Amino acid sequence: MPQVHSGKGPEVVPRLGKNTLENIVSLGELCPWGDCFARLGADTPAALHEALLEGVNYGFISVDLEGRIAFFNRAAQAMLGYSAEEVVGQHSPLLFHEPEEIRQVAERLSQELGRPVDPDMGIFAAREALGRVTEEEYTYIRKDGTRFPVLLSVMALWGGEGEQRQVVGYLGVVADITERRKAEEKLRLSNEVFENSPEAIMITDAENRIVTVNPAFTRITGYDPEDVTGENPRILSSGHHDGSFYQQMWQSLGSEGVWQGEIWDRRKNGEVYPKWATINVLRDRRSNQVSHYLAMFSDISERKRAEETINFLAHHDPLTNLPNRFTLQARLQQALSDARRHETQVAVMFIDLDRFKVINDTLGHHVGDLLLIEVAKRISAAVRDTDTVARLGGDEFVVVLSGVTRAADAMQVAMKINRLVAKPFWVADQELHTEASIGISLFPADGDDVDALMKNADTAMYYAKAQGRGNFQFYAAEMNQSAVERLTLENRLRQALAKNEFELYYQPQVSLASGRIIGFEALIRWNHAEQGMISPGVFIPMAEDTGLILSIGEWVMRTACTEAQRWQEQGLPPLRVAVNLSVRQFRQKDLPQQVAGALAISGLDPALLELEITESAVMDSPEKAIELLKNFRSMGVSLAVDDFGTGYSSLSYLKLFPINRLKIDRSFVSDIGVDPNDTAISTATIALAHTLGLEVIAEGIENSTQLNYLRAEGCNEGQGYLFNRPMPAEEVLPFVREWENIVVGNPGPAAGTSGGEQRAAGA
């Protein structure tokens, strides 16, 4: 740029171009530095001029009155990519202005000035003519065609002396504002984020006074910006946290520059809520002093609630809302350590409901569930709030009593639970009855840890159950001994069939009208090599549990049919044989084939076979049962419902079952004349059976009061010790012969009675 180097001091030259530098420097109003040198009376050194014009980051572009470029400093060259030689003498607008933009500006200026402005030539002039040294943004185009934003200021250049003094050209000072634009854009984006962030943002100054907050802050806290600006964030606090909490927060801000955590604050409306907050320390870039604190937080009350629900579900039984096994173990653990410290005792109670399975199976799970909910309430009502009631699943509950001083404390609670659970429940529009069997273990006597106490309470509960319904039982060491015995017995049971240890006994069934024997019920006996006769009451449930019942049942069916057929072959009158089927056998798929097979192999007339099934077996899935029962009936086999009255029978189904007989359970018969309720049940059952066209047989008749009552009520048949105890197969023939003699020889209603009682005594 030769023009620049030609400077000779401050001298106003009326022509732009060669002497532009001097021209500018001489203009006091525009170039204060020139003025400052002039005032000192000093020459402005050429080098300084150069430094000023060429060293700055602003583009200096001067044009003459026609708009032709006269001067183009180094910064302008760098910005636009043209050398000074390339541009001097060119019209600046044509060279680096956006044509459309410049056209619009010219139009606007024309209007403002009231005269046409030539976009090619007069932009600088027109801008200046408005008399303002304003800055305006333009888009400039580099030599390579790329565009960038600039800020342009225009000023007039004066030349001449006195009267001659006039505008000789214009100077444009151009700043590349690309970076500023970027910064502005960034700022704009930050602002958008600030305004629209779903997280509350609060900025406080170094003294922790609130400087600004965003709309999310207002939404979450309820405070408008004007409520809080200038305040200490303390006004948000709920008093939920103590001094050490905040102390720790400040400590972390001091050492890490950041703090994160959960804070419980209070909304403007007073509501306390949890928020998750992140606080950052902002420091001044130069001095590194804390300038601000930036706090961002979100309302986590919803999430908290969800977490609490999940947490609750993980620790509670969803049906009853009681603590589950997991929580129980934790609470018991806690109770044990407390008890160790205070030298008190802890009682663990295992509670199992009697007859729950029957209710669940016959009335449906829905009813079963409702009953469990009610039972849970009653058990909870029997203990203190500080005690734990948990549900382990099914109908098993556990109660943990802490602070127990004597076993009698636990006993009282157990009795209360027994009493409350025994009261009738009104569930799903029906009255239900159940009872609780409770096993109790005590810490430290019966165990030192959770597992031992639970196991022993469980064992005691089995004993309580065995004692009869609605009982409780304390654990005793001997109980485990018998648990071992049970296991051994189970193992022996597996081998019993192979070892031929089973035998069928037969108990006569008598017509109450004629006194004649009409059949026998086959009852299995286990002749254990060491323990002698074992009652089916002991091993049948065991066989059910293990599945052994299926092969045992098959053996019973075959044996009963074969032996009954032998009596026929020995010339006895047609005698029915009744075979018991357990629930599990009843569900067995090939049961009809099994029965048909036993009949075929033995050659027994199907009319002489009766199957005894329980209420729960048929009521479990009545539709299926009806199919199966029809199948048996079509084979010619008759059917009886055993233990009638102990389960739940739906009368509407009972009508549909193709059965022949109801068997009144022993428990009702035994109370005839003793308990009016049970007497009524027997009477009602007889009436019901007859209404449905069924026969009734009463089991467990032990005395003549029962017999006479039943006969008077019209009960068809009877069975019981009064007639005879179950007997081995080989005794059947002589027994029937002798009975027939007595009855035939001494016919009449009382005949069976006297004969039976003698035999009962001897059986």
| Pairing label, strands 166-176, 147-159 | antiparallel
Binder of residue 582, out of Mg ion, ligand C2E, none (CB less than 5 to 8 A by kind): ligand C2E
Residue 153 buriedness (CB in 10 A; 0-12 / 13-18 / 19+)? middle
Closest of 401, 234, 245, 263 to residue 331, by C-alpha: 401
Closer CB to ligand C2E, 297 or 644, in the complex: 644
Closer CB to ligand C2E, 456 or 582, in the complex: 582
51: Cβ contacts below 8 Å, ≥ 6 apart: none
Any idea how long the chain is?
A: 763
Binder among 62, 77, 388, 580 for Mg ion (CB under 5 A): 580
| Pairing label, strands 396-404, 388-393 | antiparallel
Binder among 432, 523, 561, 707 for ligand C2E (CB under 6 A): 523
Torsion angles phi and psi, residue 393, rounded to 5: 130, 160
- Residue ranges of alpha helices (H) inside 513-636 are 536-546, 549-569, 583-587, 591-602, 615-620, 622-635
Question: Segment 270-329, which members bind ligand C2E (CB under 6 A)?
Answer: none
Closer CB to ligand C2E, 127 or 711, in the complex: 711
Measured CA distances, 524 to 69, 552, 695 (Å):
125, 9, 25
Dihedral sign of CA atoms 306, 312, 317, 322 in order: negative
Q: Which stretch binds ligand C2E (CB under 6 A): 22-30, 218-226, 438-446, 575-583?
A: 575-583
Binder among 57, 104, 333, 535 for ligand C2E (CB under 6 A): 535
Binder among 515, 536, 752, 755 for ligand C2E (CB under 6 A): 536
Q: Which stretch binds Mg ion (CB under 5 A): 159-167, 362-370, 416-424, 579-587?
A: 579-587
Cβ 716 to ligand C2E shortest distance, Å: 17
Tell me the C-alpha distance between 581 and 387, whole Å: 44
| Residue recorded with tokens 């053996």 | 555
Cβ 678 to ligand C2E shortest distance, Å: 15
| Residue-wise burial string across 347-376, b where 16 or more C-beta atoms lie within 10 A, e elsewhere | bbbbbbbbbbebbbbbbeeebbebbbbbbb
Give the amino acid at 486.
Answer: R
Closer CB to ligand C2E, 447 or 536, in the complex: 536
Is 717 a residue that touches Mg ion (CB under 5 A)?
A: no
732, 735, 739, 741: CA torsion to nearest 10 = 110
Closer CB to ligand C2E, 517 or 524, in the complex: 524
Cβ 730 to ligand C2E shortest distance, Å: 18
Instruction: With beta carbons less than 8 A apart as the criterion, state whether 667 and 644 touch.
Output: no
Binder of residue 361, out of Mg ion, ligand C2E, none (CB less than 5 to 8 A by kind): none
Task: Tell me, by CB under 6 A, how many residues bind ligand C2E.
Answer: 25
Instruction: With beta carbons less than 8 A apart as the criterion, state whether 73 and 49 touch.
Output: no
Closer CB to ligand C2E, 61 or 543, in the complex: 543
Tokens coding 143 = 């030599």
327: Cβ contacts below 8 Å, ≥ 6 apart: 315, 316, 388, 390
Cβ 666 to ligand C2E shortest distance, Å: 6
Question: Segment 682-741, which members bind ligand C2E (CB under 6 A)?
Answer: 699-702, 719-721, 726
Lay out the site mask for ligand C2E across 610-639 (x = CB under 6 A, - = otherwise): --x---------------------------
Cβ 749 to ligand C2E shortest distance, Å: 19
Tell me the C-alpha distance between 666 and 672, whole Å: 10
Within 10 angstroms of residue 478's Cβ, the number of other Cβ atoms is 9
Binder of residue 721, out of Mg ion, ligand C2E, none (CB less than 5 to 8 A by kind): ligand C2E
Cβ 507 to Mg ion shortest distance, Å: 9
Question: Segment 636-695, which members bind Mg ion (CB under 5 A)?
Answer: 642-643
Closer CB to ligand C2E, 373 or 542, in the complex: 542
Tokens coding 425 = 């429940």
For residue 146, give the 3-state DSSP assignment.
coil
Distance of CA 372 to the CA centre of its chain: 21
Binder of residue 388, out of Mg ion, ligand C2E, none (CB less than 5 to 8 A by kind): none
Task: Tell me, by CB under 5 A, how many residues bind Mg ion.
Answer: 5
Binder of residue 277, out of Mg ion, ligand C2E, none (CB less than 5 to 8 A by kind): none
Binder among 402, 582, 679, 683 for ligand C2E (CB under 6 A): 582
Is 537 a residue that touches ligand C2E (CB under 6 A)?
A: yes
- Contact residues for ligand C2E, defined by CB under 6 A: 507, 522-524, 535-537, 540, 553, 556, 580-582, 612, 642-643, 666, 699-702, 719-721, 726
- Contact residues for Mg ion, defined by CB under 5 A: 580, 612, 642-643, 699
